[in-house]
Amino acid sequence: MKSDVQYNLDERYVFSDKAKKNVFIVLILGIIFFAIGVAMLAFGGDHSAAHALAYGDPTGHVGEGGHGFSWVTRLKSDLWINTVFFTGITMIGVFFVAIQSAAHVGWSAALKRVPEAFGSYLPVLGVVMLAIFLWAGHDLFHWTHSYLYNETLENGQPNPQYDEIIAGKAGFLNPTFFIVTVCFIFVWFAFWFFIRKNSLAEDLEGGTERFWKIKTLSTLFIIFLAISSSIAAWMWVMSIDTHWFSTMFGWYMFASWHVSGLATITLTVLFLQDQGYLKMINENHLHDLGKFIFAFSIFWTYVWFAQFLLIYYANIPEETAYFIDRFQNDLYKKAFFLNIFLNFIFPFLGLMTRDAKRKTIILKIVCFGVLAGHWIDFYQMITPGVLKENGGFGFMEIGLLMIYIGVFVLWIGNALTKAPLVAKNHPMLQESLNHHI
Amino acid sequence: MQVVSQVREPLITGGKTIRDITEDISSRVEESPSAAWLGGFAFSLLMFIAGGIYLGDLLWSGIGRWGLNKSVEWAWDITNFVWWVGIGHAGTLISAVLLLFRQKWRTSINRAAEAMTIFAVFCAGSFILMHVGRTWLAYWCLPLPNTYGSLWVNFNSPLIWDVFAISTYLSVSLVFWYIGLIPDFGTIRDRATGKIGRLMYGMLSFGWDGAAKTWMHYEAVSLILAGMSTPLVLSVHTIVSFDFATSVIPGWHTTIFPPYFVAGAIFSGFAMVLTLMLVIRKVYRLEDYVTMEHIEMMNIIIIVTGSIVGIAYTTEFFVAWYSGVEYEQYAFVNRATGPYWWAYWSMMTCNVISPQLFWIKKVRTSILATFVLSIIVNIGMWFERFVIIVTSLHRDYLPSSWVYFSPTIYDVMCYIFSFGLFFTFFFLFAKYFPVVNMAEVKAVWKESNPRVYRARRTVSEDEIPAADKKAIEKDLVHAH
């Protein structure tokens, strides 16, 4: 290896006007698409409203008192998909840094500032999440309706809307606990804040003291995340299908987040390289990132399949209802199968060979595919539960996703300018610069 | 150029040379058996024979000899099966998954761990053969053309998936282990002085010539086998978990079972590797190859997998409550407070609570604490399977079928038999096969060489060994 090559370890990212312009184009296109989508739904006739009136909740009570379906509900569902999806991606940035530190990973030291930049976006998402819950909670989460919990009405008559099963979950499914799970995001941010602080101090001080401090913080973060991510997954997504339950769900959602996060990190590294940064990252590092995406795509499939097969095989009505809503519903069937194709078959075949993992263009294609796939994964987790027969996919979904991407890229691009692109005093940096596989 | 960061611990200590590595490991094979070895081997044989007598009776008279009854139709047999398969997992994990993750510390322990895997799978298989009752008809599990008309394997049954999963696992692990042994057999053959040794190790080494081309083939085959073994690590215990999770029995049917069983298997496997390696390391004086760093790494894997298992237990409990399904809720409350509360709390103490001690650096770098905790984990993982199997079965939907399972002497002695089987093989392995992979240790030797990297002993408080010190001093002299 060319170990005598001198890399610029002090380089800083400059968010160029050209790059910003590209992001704004995405944003503006997103807004236009979104507006078209809203217009189409708002003025596109009352076709969907007729559906809603005919629709009755399988559990016996009529959702929302049976009022007509409005595009605003669909907007709420879409907002929720994107917020949960991007919260996961952002959190995985911190998780990546933490796991590399706790496991003494050498190869990734040169690129660690990229995922490290993600964490600063967490509080924004926390606030957005809370705002959406306050505004849209009743449409997203059936369990937020207080009438479900009273056995009798005020006049002493039995409450026809009382739901014994949901009432039994009240200890967990309540707004207070929901706010606790949103607070998790701020705790993740706090861990990120201190990890980042030490990481930046290491640039100035050198030595190994900061390395060990970051390791301790990372270990604590991982422990907290292991517990909080599952609880968050139950609250944010599993509770949408309020009656349904699956012990695997927390890990399933984490697996989905993880692959999305890895793909985003890889894409960010590749785009920085396109702009002439991070020259020390070569095909060996990309190979390892590719392996991660490959391996964790298979892991996601494993978890997805185990959950599906066990429910399918045991065939218990309370559990299969969830998959019947997706698998046997023409509205969501495409998403169901696209999910498996984009998240398993596509990265599996795309990244199978050694050469594929070392080629920028293939990595980019697979990363985009996987990210689209996992967005669809969240779509099929959330939309059928919220919108039932009124779900759809069109300009509104595409536009809103583009807006979320635009804001995310603006924020992360800006965060990248805040610190040197390479942690030049990281004790593993030499290993990373000389990485060769 | 290979660069190793200063924060990494050396993998081999004591200023060993390449020649020392060959010498330290081959001589254990070459010297005549020690009294301790003979004693241990005899004791293993005794367990094997004593257990075998009861097993013979069981095969002759039927599995009614066990304490099974009409509600608890699986008890120690499947508990032991799952326990042994789980133990086997560490070997494949170390040889395949850690290889893919470039964890170089695996080189000192992979040989013994893989051997442990193979013998543990033998023991697991023996319980499968026993529990079918008519062991001589066990081949009916294979889809063989036969003359019994429509008698054919039920491919819808996870028990059949098990047959394929376990036998594939055994075959691949066996081949992987043996391929790894060939270069070392070559070394021992070349050093052999006796006629029998030359002949035996000559045959075992398959005519290994150590040529560059041969090494190339060896590397290629190792990588292919590692690629094949990696999905197997996941698949085997996943299928084992399906034996329970595909059913509708409360306490068995839960979607988290596959990954949680895999984590539990790695957990128990590493505990067993530690139990065995700590003894071998002491008896064979391999402290410089299986260093404190290795022990600490294994302890960290134990704490990670143990905590995953702990989270899975809690998740199961939480979701049982959350589900609102009365039977599910009862199954879990009954586990913790019913007649088998002692088994449940043994499991919780041994698997979840006590391994948390490894968060403390003093504990995870103490040989005694590690040894004790590794045995505790193994006990806990046995109880885990017992809790899952027996407490889920002993309370049927009909209270008239509620029973309590008590083992008989046949349950105990069949378990003893499997210990005899395991340790008989393991003692033979430890004496006649090189317990550490010499060829692979030599490959990581350079980055532990104090001439290249000054001794970095940050884990252990011990003095730097004289040999290391000398090398460092020489280096310093050169530098000036």
DSSP B225-293: HHHHHHHHHHHHHHHHHHHHHTS--TTT--TTHHHHHHHHHHHHHHHHHHHHHHHHHHHTT-TTTS-HH
What pLDDT is recorded for position A197? 95
Q: Where does residue B192 fall: left (phi above 0), alpha (psi -120 to 50 degrees), or beta otherwise?
A: beta
**Long-range contacts (CB closer than 8 Å, 24 or more residues apart) made by B57-64:** B57/B410, B58/B130, B58/B410, B58/B414, B59/B130, B59/B135, B62/B133, B63/B130, B63/B131, B63/B133
- Return the pLDDT at B55: 95
Cα separation values, A413 from A82, A85, A259, A403, B54, Å: 19, 19, 21, 15, 71
| pLDDT band for position A52 (cuts 50, 70, 90) | very low
Residue B373: pLDDT over 60: yes
B196 domain-assigned: yes
Angle at CA B401, nearest 5°, toward B396 and B407?
Answer: 90
- Locus of tokens 């399949």: A305
Closest-approach residue (CA) in chain B for A215 = B7
- The confidence band for A53, taking pLDDT boundaries of 50, 70 and 90, is very low
**Residue A380 pLDDT exceeds 70:** yes
Given a contact cutoff of 8 angstroms between Cβ atoms, the answer to whether B3 and A431 are in contact is yes
Find the CATH number of the domain harbouring B67.
1.20.1630.10
Confidence grade of residue B466 (pLDDT, cut at 50, 70, 90): low
Domain boundaries, chain A: 17-141+174-433
Position B383 confidence tier, pLDDT thresholds 50, 70, 90: very high
3-class secondary-structure state, position A158: strand
In chain A, the residue whose alpha carbon lies closest to the alpha carbon of B326 is A165
The pLDDT value recorded for residue A61 is 43
Residue B88 scores a pLDDT above 50: yes
Considering only residues A255 and B219, tell me which one the structure prediction assigns the higher pLDDT: A255
Closest alpha carbon within chain B to A164: B324
Using the predicted structure, report yes or no on whether residue A209 has a pLDDT greater than 50. Answer: yes
Residue A49 has pLDDT above 90, yes or no: no
In a domain, B235, yes or no: yes
Interface of A with B in 83-122 (CB under 8 A): 104, 106
Q: What is the pLDDT of residue A340?
A: 95
- Mean local confidence (pLDDT), A372-392: 93
Using a CB–CB cutoff of 8 Å, tell me whether A169 touches chain B. Answer: yes
Per-residue pLDDT at B460 exceeds 70: no
Q: Does B154 touch chain A (CB under 8 A)?
A: no
Give the integer Cα–Cα distance in Å for A414 and B86.
49
Point out the residue among B242, B255, B324 whose CB comes nearest to the CB of A165: B324
Residue B206: left if φ>0, alpha if ψ -120 to 50, beta else—which one? left
3-state helix, strand, coil in chain A (%, to 5): 75, 0, 25
Mean pLDDT of B90-111: 85
Whole-number pLDDT of residue B1: 55
Which chain A residue shows the shortest CA-CA distance from B308?
A226
Q: Count the Cβ atoms, other than its own, within 10 Å of residue B397.
A: 9
CA dist B349 and B334 (Å) reads 17
Q: What is the pTM of this model?
A: 0.91
pLDDT at A33: 96
CA separation, residue A280 to residues A136, A266, A286, A434 (Å): 46, 15, 11, 9
Min distance B50 CA to chain A CA atoms (Å): 41
Question: Which amino acid, one-letter code, is at B68?
Answer: L
Structural contact between residues B269 and B87, judged by C-beta atoms closer than 8 angstroms: yes
Least confident of A122-126, B33-37, B147-151, B401-405: B147-151
3-state secondary structure of B378: helix
Over pLDDT 90: what percentage of chain B? 60
- Cβ neighbours of residue A385 closer than 8 Å, sequence gap 6 or more: A240, A241, A325
Is the distance from CB of B385 to CB of B83 less than 8 angstroms? yes
What's the confidence (pLDDT) of residue B399? 87
Reply yes or no on whether the pLDDT at B459 is more than 70.
no
Report whether pLDDT(A63) > 80.
no
Interface probe for A, chosen from B8, B104, B155, B256 (most Cβ of A below 10 Å), is B256
**pLDDT score recorded for residue A60:** 40
Q: What pLDDT, in 10s, does the model give residues B295-326?
A: 999 999 999 999 999 999 999 999 999 999 99
| Torsion angle in degrees (nearest 10) through CA of B195, B198, B199, B205 | 170
- Report the largest interatomic distance among the alpha carbons of chain B, rounded to a whole angstrom: 87
- Residue B322 to residue A234, Cβ atoms within 8 A: yes
Taken in order B201, B206, B212, B218, is the CA torsion positive or negative?
negative
Return the structure tokens found at A188. 């993740």
A249, A302, A314: residue with CB nearest B248: A314
Does residue B255 sit at the A interface (CB-CB below 8 Å)? yes
pLDDT per residue as tens digits for the range B89-100: 888 888 888 888
The CA-CA-CA angle for residues B378, B381, B384, to 5°, reads 155
Task: Find, in chain A, the residue whose alpha carbon is nearest to that of B244.
Answer: A310
Q: CB distance from B322 to chain A under 8 Å? A: yes
DSSP B67: S
A162, A219, A245, best to mutate vs chain B, most B CBs in 10 Å = A245
User: Residue A330, class by beta-carbon neighbours within 10 Å (0-12 exposed, 13-18 middle, 19+ buried)?
Assistant: exposed
Query: For residue A54, what pLDDT is reported?
Result: 43
pLDDT in tens, A346-362: 999 999 999 999 999 99
Say whether residue B400 is in contact with chain A using an 8 A CB cutoff. Answer: no
**Picking from B8-22, B214-228, B242-256, which range would have the lowest pLDDT averaged per residue?**
B8-22
> Mean pLDDT across the stretch A396-409?
96
**Is the model's pLDDT at B289 over the cut of 70?**
yes
Over residues B255-281, the mean pLDDT reads 93
* C-beta of residue A400 within 8 angstroms of C-beta of residue A34: yes
Q: What pLDDT sits at residue B449? A: 59
Contact between chains at A1 and B1 (C-beta distance less than 8 A): yes
Q: What percent of chain B has pLDDT over 70?
A: 92
Domain that holds residue B439: 18-142+156-479
Interface test with A, best of B239, B323, B447 (most A CBs within 10 A): B323
A352 touches chain B (CB under 8 A): no
Q: Which residue has the tokens 């499947």?
A: B78
Yes or no: say if B254 and A251 are a contact pair by the CB < 8 Å rule: no
* B210-216: average pLDDT: 92
Q: How far is Cα B355 from Cα A94, in angstroms, rounded to an integer?
A: 27
Which are the contacts of A260, defined by CB distance < 8 A and separation ≥ 6? Answer: A85, A88, A89, A92, A370, A371, A374, A375
Question: Has residue A219 got a pLDDT over 70?
Answer: yes
**Interval A267-314: pLDDT, tens:** 999 999 999 999 999 999 999 999 999 999 999 999 999 999 999 999
Q: Which of A165, A251, A313 sits opposite B256 (nearest CB)?
A: A251
- Disruptive mutation site among B1, B2, B5, B102 for chain A (greatest number of A CBs within 10 Å): B5
What are the structure tokens assigned to A287, written together? 């190979």
Alpha carbon of residue B35 to chain centroid: 27
Residues of chain B contacting residue A230, judged by C-beta atoms under 8 Å apart = 311, 315
Q: Tens digits of per-residue pLDDT, B390-407?
A: 999 998 888 898 999 999
User: Hey, CA dihedral for A210, A216, A222, A228, is it positive or negative?
Assistant: negative
CA neighbor of B416 nearest in space, from B109, B173, B76, B187:
B76
Give me the residue label for tokens 């390395």: A211
B458 pLDDT band, cuts 50/70/90, is very low
Q: How far apart are CA B298 and CA B273, in angstroms?
A: 9
Q: For chain B, how many structural domains are there in total?
A: 1
| pLDDT of amino acid A418 | 93
Chain A residues inside the 8 Å CB shell of B253: 310, 314, 316
User: Å from B234 to nearest chain A CA?
Assistant: 9
- pLDDT tens figures, A403-423: 999 999 999 999 999 999 999
pLDDT at A140 > cutoff 90 = yes
Q: Where are the beta strands (DSSP E) in A26-81?
A: none
pLDDT band at A48 (very low <50, low <70, confident <90, very high): very low
Tell me the per-residue pLDDT of B167-210, one tens digit each, with 9 for 90 and over: 999 999 999 999 999 999 999 999 988 899 899 999 999 989 98
- pLDDT bracket for residue B450 (50, 70, 90): low
Predicted local confidence at residue A265, as pLDDT: 96
A229 reaches B (C-beta below 8 A): no
